[in-house]
């Protein structure tokens, strides 16, 4: 048994960021991770063939690069090995009519492409990009602040003072609008609308779900203004750097250490018991980087002592699942819409708002979508070091999928457990890429498919293959994430805190929950 000031359950990037800050403030910290490596949903490994490094989950590290944690510790992270690969051609979409649209950090390139669809939209884009820094100040302040009444009041006051009543209402409308509502109000071209709406699907926002407009807006304008970054050599560059900082500061990381129980006494978290029976004590804080449903009846066998909290944790809603397909390739896809598409970090195969809405509805109904939304990542177009010379990796995220399959919207795959049908469904997804990039099949050197259930097996926080660890719909966001009254990473158990994507400010690689909680615990 060992005594620590703070114990962390799970070694995701939020836990590691929190533990690192506390360790640098003099706390004795320890992180316990069930898997042989750290990272949670940020992992890189040779999943197909030797020499081909695949990001198993997150690929885009822009949120980490722009985070408050990185701003504070940029020099230390760089010294610990953190290295980014900048992206100029950020994302694009291909369409059934053979056309494509993409956003690059060079605004003249983006506007030229827009003009081919709509001169009106090109002018709108310039206006939005020109006003983005002013709008971003308020949105980033909201997303980067604790979800408390005081913080919200400060954000609202700053918004009203700088934009007036009308401007503040415009921002409020953006935060509440569905992607379709905002896109219909803003753009004319259906191609442009579909390209931006695809980003809503990343965060569980089909086109008609309220509260989703802000994500297509932020992603498109941030990519236009700043570009994008991925990790040099793999997304796990942030994990290795965090581990290096943490251990250099005296923190400890235990792998293959499955936490079976959070120990409590008199309503206070006191430590952990591992699956092998070993116990460890936490004198100041116990931080759980877990999905909310893992607390009542599991890590807390007798519950938290607050029936309302326990019920809310059990009813925490997860987004539909995803499938990950990793390919080792002899060459990048030959996109028929345009050779320039080979330069983009992401190419979406998501033809229209209506198709995205249909796909989402099918998944929620338990059906395999007849035409899933595909996010095709081309990291070796940016960072050739991830594959042997002249070779490439492809990162394919298939959205949205049911965790339990009740049927097939296309009527060709018999319902069954994902273990039995995942390869057949992966073939359907790859056929959609093949349709837009003929010859892909002949370039495949190796393939690895992770079904929604495979994703959960590797990381129990990805319940049903939910890669964002919880829906971001309005009823489960802001002051309601993960539940009303517990948006400050608090629980009814004293000294027990939650961090990670299930807590405010939600999914992504920004380490917001971990860093904000660490600052609160350490006093700065």
In a domain, 45, yes or no: no
- For 496-515, what is the mean pLDDT? 98
Q: What is the pLDDT of residues 304-351, one digit of tens each?
A: 999 999 999 999 999 999 999 999 999 999 999 999 999 999 999 999
Q: What is the pLDDT of residues 112-152, one digit of tens each?
A: 999 999 999 999 999 999 999 999 898 999 999 999 878 88
Do 439 and 394 sit in the same domain of this protein?
A: yes
What per-residue confidence (pLDDT) applies to 205?
98
Q: How many domains does the chain have?
A: 3
Do 95 and 203 sit in the same domain of this protein?
A: yes
- For 238-244, what is the mean pLDDT? 98
Backbone dihedral angles phi then psi of residue 261, each to the nearest 5 degrees: -155, 140
For residue 418, is pLDDT > 80? yes
Strand partners, 44: 55
Residue 54 in tokens: 């695949």
In a domain, 100, yes or no: yes
Question: Could you tell me the residue range of the domain that residue 119 belongs to?
Answer: 89-226
Helix (H) or strand (E) holding 273: strand 268-274
Tell me how far CA of residue 25 lies from CA of 20, 28, 173, 280, in angstroms. 9, 9, 41, 21
Tell which residue, 448, 517, 524, has the closest CA to residue 146.
517
- For 191-198, what is the mean pLDDT? 98
- For 494-511, what is the mean pLDDT? 98
Of 226, 249, 276, which residue sits at a domain end? Answer: 226
What per-residue confidence (pLDDT) applies to 241?
98
Of 226, 259, 283, which residue sits at a domain end? Answer: 226
> What's the rounded Cα separation, in Å, for the pair 120 and 275?
61
Strand partners, 263: 271
Do 222 and 98 sit in the same domain of this protein?
A: yes
Q: What is the pLDDT of residues 39-97, one digit of tens each?
A: 999 999 999 999 999 999 999 999 999 999 999 999 999 999 999 999 999 999 999 99
Tell me how far CA of residue 95 lies from CA of 99, 116, 350, in angstroms. 6, 14, 8
- For 154-161, what is the mean pLDDT? 83
> If you ran DSSP here, which 8-state letter would residue 129 be given?
H
Do 268 and 285 sit in the same domain of this protein?
A: yes
pTM across the whole model: 0.97
Burial code (b: 16+ CB inside 10 Å, e: under 16) for 336-373 equals ebeeebbbbbbbbbbbbbebbbbbbebbeeebbbebbb
For residue 5, is pLDDT > 90? yes
- For 417-422, what is the mean pLDDT? 98
DSSP string across 54-107: EESS--B-HHHHTSHHHHHHHHHHHHTT--EEEESEEEEEE-TTS-EEEEESSH
For residue 1, is pLDDT > 80? no
Confidence grade of residue 165 (pLDDT, cut at 50, 70, 90): confident
End-to-end CA distance of the chain, in Å?
30
What per-residue confidence (pLDDT) applies to 170?
87
What per-residue confidence (pLDDT) applies to 159?
83
Tell which residue, 498, 380, 501, 403, has the closest CA to residue 454.
403
Do 284 and 309 sit in the same domain of this protein?
A: yes
In a domain, 55, yes or no: no
Do 289 and 370 sit in the same domain of this protein?
A: no
**HEC-encoded secondary structure of 209-225:** CCCCCHHHHHHHHHHHH
- For 181-207, what is the mean pLDDT? 98
In a domain, 425, yes or no: yes
What per-residue confidence (pLDDT) applies to 163?
85
More confident residue, 168 or 310: 310
In a domain, 50, yes or no: no
> What's the rounded Cα separation, in Å, for the pair 283 and 31?
14
Helix (H) or strand (E) holding 180: helix 179-186
In a domain, 405, yes or no: yes
Q: What is the number of other CB atoms lying within 10 angstroms of the CB of residue 432?
A: 20
Of 458, 478, 499, which residue sits at a domain end? Answer: 458
Tell me how far CA of residue 160 lies from CA of 127, 165, 176, 430, in angstroms. 21, 6, 17, 48
User: Residue 252 belongs to a domain with what CATH number?
Assistant: 3.50.50.60
What per-residue confidence (pLDDT) applies to 152?
81
In a domain, 47, yes or no: no
| Peptide bond between residue 400 and the one before it cis (omega within 30 degrees of 0) | yes
In a domain, 18, yes or no: yes
């Amino acid at each position: 048994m060992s005594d620590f000031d703070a114990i962390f359950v799970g070694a995701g990037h939020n836990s590691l960021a929190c533990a690192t800050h506390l360790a640098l403030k003099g706390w004795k910290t320890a992180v316990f991770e069930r898997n042989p490596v750290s990272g949670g949903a940020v992992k890189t490994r040779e999943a197909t063939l030797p020499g081909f490094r695949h990001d198993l989950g997150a690929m885009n590290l822009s949120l980490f690069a722009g985070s408050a944690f990185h701003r504070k510790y940029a020099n230390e992270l760089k010294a610990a090995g953190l290295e980014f690969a900048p992206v100029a051609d950020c994302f694009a979409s291909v369409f059934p009519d053979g056309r494509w649209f993409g956003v690059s950090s060079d605004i003249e390139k983006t506007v030229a492409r827009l003009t081919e669809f709509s001169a009106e939209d090109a002018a709108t884009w310039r206006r939005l990009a020109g006003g983005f820094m002013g709008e971003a100040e308020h949105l980033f302040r909201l997303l980067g602040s604790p979800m408390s009444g005081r913080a919200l009041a400060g954000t609202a006051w700053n918004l009203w003072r700088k934009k007036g009543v009308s401007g503040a209402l415009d921002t409020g409308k953006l935060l509440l609008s569905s992607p379709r509502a905002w896109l219909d109000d803003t753009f004319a071209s259906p191609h442009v609308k579909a390209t931006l709406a695809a980003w809503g699907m990343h965060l569980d926002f089909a086109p008609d779900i309220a509260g989703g407009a802000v994500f297509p807006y932020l992603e498109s304008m941030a990519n236009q203004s700043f570009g994008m970054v991925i990790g040099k050599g793999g997304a796990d560059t942030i994990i290795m750097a965090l581990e290096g900082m943490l251990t250099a500061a005296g923190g400890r990381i235990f792998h293959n250490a499955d936490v079976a129980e959070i120990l409590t006494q008199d309503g206070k978290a006191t430590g952990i018991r591992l699956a092998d029976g070993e116990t460890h004590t936490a004198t100041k804080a116990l931080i759980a980087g877990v999905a909310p449903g893992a607390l009542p009846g599991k890590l807390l066998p007798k519950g938290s002592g607050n029936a309302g909290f326990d019920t809310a944790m059990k009813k925490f809603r997860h987004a539909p699942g995803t499938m990950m397909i990793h390919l080792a390739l002899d060459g990048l896809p030959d996109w028929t819409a345009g050779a320039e598409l080979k330069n983009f970090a992401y190419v979406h195969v998501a033809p229209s708002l209506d198709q995205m809405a249909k796909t989402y509805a099918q998944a929620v109904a338990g059906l395999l979508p007849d035409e899933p939304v595909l996010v095709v990542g081309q990291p070796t177009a940016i960072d050739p070091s991830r594959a042997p010379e002249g070779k490439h990796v492809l990162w394919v995220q298939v959205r949205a999928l049911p965790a339990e399959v009740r049927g097939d919207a296309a009527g060709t795959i018999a319902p069954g457990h994902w273990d039995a049908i995942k390869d057949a469904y992966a073939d359907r997804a790859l056929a959609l890429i093949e349709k837009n990039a003929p010859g892909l099949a002949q370039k495949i050197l190796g393939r690895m498919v992770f079904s929604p259930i495979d994703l959960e097996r590797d990381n129990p926080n990805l319940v049903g293959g939910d890669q964002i660890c919880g829906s971001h719909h309005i009823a489960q966001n802001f002051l309601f994430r993960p539940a009303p009254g517990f948006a400050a990473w608090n629980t009814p158990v004293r000294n027990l805190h939650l961090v990670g994507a299930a807590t405010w400010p939600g999914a992504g690689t920004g380490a917001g929950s971990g860093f904000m909680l660490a600052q609160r615990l350490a006093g700065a």
